[in-house]
């Protein structure tokens, strides 16, 4: 760590990264929350809600995938700090403009641009925090970033309840612009500065494919995050349909379920971070999380006659289980050298989000054959099994010195 990086400046960096991820999560899920109200307001017929909603969400997802590559490469070539400024400026302006759209086509393209911006926040933030803190304590920093960040989902829910959907988007954009002023006082990591002017390939995606071992290392990093978005994107988001199959007393609310899941994720991120520091192992924590995912998901999908209170409690517990998001991104960052670290840490979470598409395709194919409950249970078990296998193939990265390069 460079001399100017005093403990006070390091924790200021952690605070700003946490608030950045808070705004990022708010803007990431706001469309899912206000989709129906916004579509009705711009005059979309009810029978087009689902199809157009999938189109707009897929455009946002496409933006995340494209942005993951762009910002990851830029962070390794030009610095983590520039990406933190550039990404939040892009998605803040896009979300502010979202409050004024009048048709689905414009809506979709603005979400695509917002997705590009949103892709850079977490990976660059986690990389910068990891490189700026001592190797024995960096887990606490990334834990705080994620624990605070996912609470943005809670604010998004309440803002959408209290105000119009247009105001909800404008609030998201406004928070991002305000955050830019806080970022003026933070610094670039000394680890990056040491290799900044060296004549070595930086952010070169071809480095991932230049070695079989390095490519497999990257794939294994992606695999350990696979169950996270399936739990949120299917088990909780499709709560009304799953509840019907369980003969629920009332229609289960996906909106409330998502809110309780994110509360669980916030607590899970904190617990995972603390436990990793105590055990001095991130791998053991991710393994434990896979066991919790299996237990709570099976309990949920086996709860015949489930009540809304039981659903929300189980959604919270499933959130705790998938609350290793920060640990997952930290493991990805720690597995690779400084000249490729941000590329991996930025693309990994966005590619895992994108992996929800093939996961839901498999789930959709299984539903007609085995029913919605067994299909959901089968895919959950499969994804956790893949995650556990991938985990066994990765080296423990706790206390690893990050000042090295990929050749």
* Residue 406 placed within a domain: no
| Same domain as 259, residue 324 | yes
The pLDDT value given to residue 202:
67
* Residue 324 placed within a domain: yes
| Same domain as 210, residue 165 | no
* Residue 404 placed within a domain: no
Following DSSP, what letter does each residue of 189-217 receive, concatenated? -HHHHHHHTSSS--S-THHHHS-HHHHHH
Q: Specify the range with the lowest mean pLDDT, choosing from 3-7, 31-35, 247-251.
A: 3-7
**Average pLDDT value for residue range 391-401:** 85
| Same domain as 100, residue 188 | yes
Helix, strand, coil percent content, the chain, rounded in steps of 5: 80, 0, 20
Q: Is-contact 214 208, C-beta < 8 A?
A: yes
- The C-alpha angle with vertex 268 and arms to 179 and 232, in degrees rounded to 5, equals 80
* Beta carbons within 10 angstroms of residue 62's beta carbon: 16
Q: Give the CATH number for residue 145.
A: 1.20.1250.20
Closest CA to 65 of 346, 330, 320: 346
Judged against a pLDDT cut of 50, whether residue 2 lies above it is answered with: no
pLDDT band, very low/low/confident/very high, at 228 (cuts 50, 70, 90): very high
Residue 216, domain extent: 201-397
Q: At 405, list the tokens.
A: 């390069």
* Residue 405 placed within a domain: no
| Same domain as 227, residue 335 | yes
| Chosen domain end from 197, 218, 244 | 197
pLDDT band, very low/low/confident/very high, at 10 (cuts 50, 70, 90): confident
Euclidean distance between CA atoms 25 and 149, whole angstroms:
7
| Same domain as 156, residue 136 | yes
Enter the pTM of the model: 0.80
The pLDDT value given to residue 196:
63
The pLDDT value given to residue 289:
96
Following DSSP, what letter does each residue of 57-77 receive, concatenated? HHHHHHHHHHHHHHHHHHHHH
* Residue 403 placed within a domain: no
| Chosen domain end from 164, 197, 230 | 197
Give the number of domains in the chain: 2
| Same domain as 190, residue 208 | no
DSSP 8-state assignment for residue 37: H
Euclidean distance between CA atoms 355 and 367, whole angstroms:
19
| Same domain as 217, residue 81 | no
Residue 281 Ramachandran class (φ > 0 left, ψ -120 to 50 alpha, else beta): beta
Angstrom CA distances, 88 to 181, 329, 355, stand at 11, 19, 24
| Same domain as 258, residue 189 | no
Average pLDDT, the chain: 85
**Average pLDDT value for residue range 400-404:** 70
Judged against a pLDDT cut of 70, whether residue 366 lies above it is answered with: yes
pLDDT band, very low/low/confident/very high, at 206 (cuts 50, 70, 90): confident
Above pLDDT 90, what percent of the chain?
A: 28
pLDDT band, very low/low/confident/very high, at 187 (cuts 50, 70, 90): low
Return the higher-pLDDT residue of 90 and 52: 90
* Beta carbons within 10 angstroms of residue 274's beta carbon: 15
The pLDDT value given to residue 251:
86
| Same domain as 246, residue 177 | no
The pLDDT value given to residue 402:
72
**Average pLDDT value for residue range 186-210:** 70
* Residue 407 placed within a domain: no
| Same domain as 167, residue 291 | no
- The per-residue pLDDT for range 241-293, each reduced to its tens digit, is 899 999 998 988 887 888 899 889 888 988 998 898 889 899 999 999 999 99
Angstrom CA distances, 135 to 3, 8, 244, 397, 403, stand at 16, 17, 48, 10, 11
* Residue 29 placed within a domain: yes
| Same domain as 255, residue 185 | no
* Residue 221 placed within a domain: yes
Q: Specify the range with the lowest mean pLDDT, choosing from 5-9, 97-101, 235-239, 376-380.
A: 5-9
| Same domain as 80, residue 101 | yes
Angstrom CA distances, 162 to 22, 57, 183, 270, stand at 19, 23, 29, 29
| Chosen domain end from 180, 197, 214 | 197
pLDDT band, very low/low/confident/very high, at 315 (cuts 50, 70, 90): very high
């Amino acid at each position: 760590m460079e001399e100017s990086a005093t403990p006070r400046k390091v924790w200021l960096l952690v605070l700003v990264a946490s608030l950045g991820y808070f705004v990022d999560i708010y803007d990431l899920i706001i469309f899912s929350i206000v989709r129906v109200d916004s579509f009705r307001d711009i005059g979309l017929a009810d029978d087009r809600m689902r199809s157009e909603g999938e189109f707009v969400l897929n455009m946002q997802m496409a933006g995340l995938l494209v942005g993951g590559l762009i910002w990851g490469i830029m962070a390794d070539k030009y610095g983590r700090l520039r990406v933190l400024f550039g990404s939040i400026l892009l998605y803040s302006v896009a979300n502010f403009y979202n409050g004024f759209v009048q048709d689905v086509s414009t809506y979709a393209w603005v979400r695509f641009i917002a997705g590009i911006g949103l892709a850079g926040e977490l990976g660059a933030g986690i990389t910068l925090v990891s490189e700026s803190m001592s190797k024995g304590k960096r887990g606490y920093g990334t834990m705080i970033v994620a624990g605070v960040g996912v609470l943005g989902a809670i604010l998004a829910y309440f803002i959408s309840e209290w105000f119009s959907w247009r105001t909800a988007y404008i609030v998201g954009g406004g928070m991002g612009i305000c955050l830019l002023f806080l970022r003026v006082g933070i610094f670039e990591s000394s680890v990056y500065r040491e290799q900044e002017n060296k004549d070595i390939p930086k952010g070169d995606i071809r480095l991932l494919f230049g070695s079989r071992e390095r490519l497999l290392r990257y794939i294994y990093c992606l695999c350990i995050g696979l169950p996270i978005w399936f739990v949120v994107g299917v088990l909780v988001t499709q709560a009304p349909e799953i509840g019907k199959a369980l003969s629920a007393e009332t229609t289960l609310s996906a909106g409330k379920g998502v809110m309780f899941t994110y509360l669980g994720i916030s607590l899970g991120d904190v617990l995972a971070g603390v436990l990793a520091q105590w055990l001095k192992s991130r791998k053991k924590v991710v393994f434990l999380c896979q066991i919790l995912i299996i237990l709570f998901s099976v309990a949920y999908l086996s709860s015949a006659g489930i009540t809304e209170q039981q659903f929300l409690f189980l959604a919270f517990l499933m959130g705790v289980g998938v609350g290793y998001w920060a640990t997952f991104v930290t493991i990805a960052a720690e597995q690779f050298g400084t000249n490729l670290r941000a590329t991996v840490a930025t693309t990994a979470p966005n590619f895992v989000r994108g992996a929800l598409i093939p996961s839901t395709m498999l789930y959709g194919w299984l539903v007609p054959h085995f029913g919605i409950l067994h299909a959901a249970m089968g895919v959950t078990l499969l994804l956790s099994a893949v995650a556990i296998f991938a985990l066994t193939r990765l080296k423990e990265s706790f206390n690893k010195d990050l000042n090295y390069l990929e050749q």
